[in-house]
Amino acid sequence: MAICATLGAMAQTPVYLDESKPLDVRVEDALSRMTLREKINLIHAQSKFSSPGVPRLGIPELWCTDGPMGVRPEVLWDEWEQAKWTNDSCTAFPSLTALAATWNPEMAYLYGKSIGEEARFRNKSVLLGPGINIYRTPLNGRNFEYMGEDPYLSGRMAVQYVNGVQSNGVAVCVKHFALNNNEINRHTSNPIVDDRTLYEIYLPAFKAAATEGGAWSFMGGYNLFRGEHASYNPILMNDILKGEWGWDGAVISDWGAVHDTRTAVTGGLDMEFGSWTNGLTNGASNAYDNYFFAEPYLKGIQDGTYSTKELDDKARRVLRLTMRTAMDRNRPFGSMGSDEHISACREIAEEGIVLLKNDKQTLPIDLTKTKRIAVVGENAIKMMTVGGGSSSLKARYEITPLDGLRARVGDSAEIVYARGYVGDVTGEYNGVVTGQDLTDNRTPSELTEEAVNAAKNADIVLFFGGLNKSPHQDAEDFDRETMNLPYGQNELISTLAKANPNIVVINISGTGVAMPWVKQVPAIVQGWYLGNETGNSLASVLVGDANPSGKLPYTYYASLDQCGAHKLGEYPGHKSIDVLGNEVYDIPYNEGIYVGYRFIDKNNLRPTFPFGHGLSYTTFKYGKATIDKKEGTADETFRVTVPVTNTGKREGKEIVQLYIADKESNLERPRKELKGFRKVALKPGETAEVTFEITRDALSYFDPEKHAWICEPGDFEAIVGASSTDLRSRVSFRVKP
């Protein structure tokens, strides 16, 4: 009888395992069953990328993986060294700057869904991305992982990326919250930012990801903010993220970003990862027991230094994260390297490629009239998926630009390749090897001579240059030292342009570069890092199979003096000593809210290419914008409509942008700010009516004295344009008291 009763009790599903019950009910039930040590174990790592869960209760391990552009290959349990699996090659997706350049939230969802399927197939619970820090300076080595300079654009794209990933039962970990805007001195940077700048520029994309996207986890940055580390900064984590925004997810530290127990306990951090490199040798027996959130925290609770209030909140948030992911028995199984993912990679890449300049209709290449194409530049043959830091990938394959062109052009034209310059000849990062050996011992003059000869005898020259993912270019832990192209490329481009003026420069980079030769070449393409399908995607655009429709998600400065962070700021800061006696780098953000095109507008500058710029192989005409009412209260919605017509001879996509200007604010405001955009596909002769809704959020500024968003009565202007400088139509309206 007793045995039967026991079996009956065991057969009953515990509340925390019953997925029909509300999530918070399940969380509280699981929490009530846990011991103090189990709660402690739940909130710190057990390996390089996992936390242990609670085996006694059947609460599984939580596995993280680096992103945000592909699922990182497996590493050993305690080390960064490769595990040398043979089945962990991923689909390498385009850089997030390329995604942002699509200006298409549908592409962001497709991207997130696809990478989320790969993470799920590898049984990962948390994807460490997307990165949405604002592009404050073109020298930031990690710009290629972010979504540009504008908080509105970044936020709209981030929300759909989050939705796509989490549709697979895989959590995003939105990073790096917040103000992680440089890589140099990143562990000791202390940005000095006023509240208005913080709320208007550096927080909106994160808020959108948290409140609209419903992100399940956030990652703190390495940097400090107002003297405390970002990963457990009480202002960022407690007051804003969990307080003002009412967010219920878990905060995960960046790897090695925790420095002491006391402040981490009270500062809003929930999970500690990466505090030591090798768990086998750093510590008496197991370094993970010595993490700040391990034995030191446990002993502090036991001796009364800390209460269990903070621990329960951390455990509650980690349980919620686990139940949303690893414990969700209904989440799909995912897939890896599927045809659908390859198709998504190519579609996103083609939509993100930006045609910056196209004089004399140099592009697309007419293969019926072109007999010889000269391809010049190391970036035509260099694989780019390996390198750059934690976003480095072990791709299933990578098609280089030269291979993509050869496959597409076939016998239609002869392609002659010349190296032109030698840059980074390596192809290895963290144990992943491309297999390329690009060693070339010729002198620069010999390489130039070969390139010039190839150019002279060609109908068109395609120069593939730019940056790569080596230190001091586009790479984690390094900022660039200059905006100039490396390896003598500027001089080489000018020389080639003299040899053959019919030249196209394809810039491969994740950030803006100086272009002193911009007037010497008729066509320029921003090619980004495009992942597996790099060569196919670029070839498709160059020969006209795909009509380019990307636009810049940041300003292409002519020089650093056009960037407020450099003109007015103290990049990369000055040494200071904090209250604990530690050396830090204070970075005054003297430009305030005037980041990117806002600074350009204020100072009437002419960048090389403006924010939002991008050309097409067709043309678009904008009609006159109209508004549904000329006056209304701040709580009413204003609707602005503009007709856009494809006036060219081929189908294309146009990105229609809406900017708002406040004509009589009590506080100084930017001349205009992006508050809406829409990408429309139009056939030749077709017209679309594009409508934008303007609500209180689009009209408000942050008042630091009131610590509130304010929409003042007064006159406003809605400005519709094809870029931040190509403004096509304006309409005025008034907000009544």
701: Cβ contacts below 8 Å, ≥ 6 apart: 196, 200, 662, 665, 667, 669, 709, 710
d(CA 59, CA 53) in angstroms, rounded, equals: 5
d(CA 590, CA 136) in angstroms, rounded, equals: 12
Beta bridge partners of 691: 641
d(CA 622, CA 656) in angstroms, rounded, equals: 9
CA–centroid distance for 84 within its chain:
28
Q: Is 154 helix (H, G, I), strand (E, B) or coil?
A: helix
Q: Point out the catalytic residue in the list 254, 424, 601, 662.
A: 254
Q: Which burial class, exposed, middle or buried, applies to 214 when counting CB atoms under 10 A from its CB (0-12, 13-18, 19+)?
A: middle
Kind of pairing between the strands at 687-694 and 701-703 = unpaired
User: How far, in Å, are 50, 135, 677 from residue 724 at the CA level?
Assistant: 44, 16, 12
Q: How many CB atoms lie within 10 A of CB 154?
A: 27
CA neighbor of 43 nearest in space, from 248, 231, 273: 273
CB contact at 8 A, 614 and 550 = yes
H helices of 43-142, in order, are: 96-101, 105-121
H helices of 43-172, in order, are: 96-101, 105-121, 151-166
What single letter denotes the amino acid at residue 47?
A: S
Q: Which two tokens stand for residue 676?
A: 């809406």
CB contact at 8 A, 426 and 468 = no
CA neighbor of 27 nearest in space, from 63, 54, 65: 54
Q: How many CB atoms lie within 10 A of CB 226?
A: 14
Number of H helices, E strands in the chain: 19, 30
Residue the block writes with tokens 């942050």: 702
- DSSP per-residue codes, 459-481: SEEEEEEE--SSTTSS-TT---S
CA neighbor of 114 nearest in space, from 171, 173, 174, 168: 168
Q: How many CB atoms lie within 10 A of CB 403?
A: 16
254 as an active site residue: the answer is: yes
CB contact at 8 A, 89 and 395 = yes
| Structural Rg of the chain based on CA atoms | 26
What single letter denotes the amino acid at residue 320?
A: R
DSSP single-letter state for residue 257: -
Q: How many CB atoms lie within 10 A of CB 449?
A: 14
Cβ contacts of 297-302, under 8 Å, gap ≥ 24: 297/40, 297/261, 297/265, 298/36, 298/37, 298/40, 300/261, 300/262, 300/265, 301/36, 302/36
Residue the block writes with tokens 């505090």: 275
Q: Which two tokens stand for residue 596?
A: 């990117």
Q: Is 367 helix (H, G, I), strand (E, B) or coil?
A: coil
| Residues annotated catalytic, as ranges | 254
